[in-house]
Amino acid sequence: MHSFLLLMRQQRHFSARMLTQRLTQLFTKKLARKLAQACLYTGLALGVMSCSSASIEDYQNTTPTLDLATFFDGKLTAAGVVQDFSGKVTRKFTVTMEAHWVDSPEGKQGVINEWFIYDDGEKQTRVWNITDKGNGLYEGTANDILGIAQGESRGSALRWRYDMILPVDGSEYEVHFDDWMFLVDEKTIINKSDIIKFGITVAQVTLVIAKQPD
């Protein structure tokens, strides 16, 4: 009986490892580029896939206070890496950004333009539309987001939640993001995102975002 249970545990462990390896294979260069692009302002899927135990409320009393419209205003730059489930760096990239905000009846509206350059020379452009709902709540949309991205900030931290469809070589993959931003000082944010599929973190994106002089 004990041998049977041990065998079953080994089989489950092997199956989980094989699934993780297979999912990681999907996150090759083309997919990793899209993951990095998506992670600048976004986060966890609207669901139960995240394995993170951290809560945004943990940062209620931290400083400096992160206000999205204050930080993401004007010109910014970023540099980051994509890592697979083993921690191996699979992609490097830089980003140039320009952002502006206007008042509206629905709340302050922001448009963030992003221009990506990857380590193989490929270039991409992306545009985010973000609404400040007040009380530390945000909503965001983009062409490849499923529904509306939900953001919440407390103290120096901001967490986004959303699902995304990523087309790769004629196929489409739905993935989930758990995306955290931490304001280090008035000019620097550290952004770390877990990319989740079937409840398994298959990749991570880490980047540093810096405000630039007007």
Structure confidence by residue, pLDDT tens digits, 35-80: 556 555 444 333 333 344 689 999 999 999 999 999 999 999 999 9
In tens, the pLDDT along 130-160 reads 999 999 999 999 877 899 999 999 999 999 9
- The fraction of the chain above a pLDDT of 90, given in percent, is 52
Residue ranges covered by each domain of the chain:
2-211
Cβ 197 vs Cβ 23: under 8 Å: yes
| Tokens 């297979």 -> residue | 22
How high is the mean pLDDT of the chain?
Answer: 81
- 206, 174, 84, 116 alpha-carbon torsion, rounded to 10°: -50
Q: How far apart are CA 71 and CA 211, in angstroms?
A: 7
**What single-letter DSSP state applies at residue 31?**
H
Q: Which of 8-12, 39-43, 77-81, 89-93 has the lowest mean pLDDT?
A: 8-12
Homologous superfamily, domain 2-211: Calycin beta-barrel core domain (2.40.128.20)
Six token digits for residue 13: 């462990």
Q: How big is the CA angle at 177 (ends 174 and 178), to the nearest 5 degrees? A: 155
Residue 80, pLDDT score: 97
Residue 38, pLDDT score: 53
Assess whether pLDDT exceeds 80 at residue 28: no
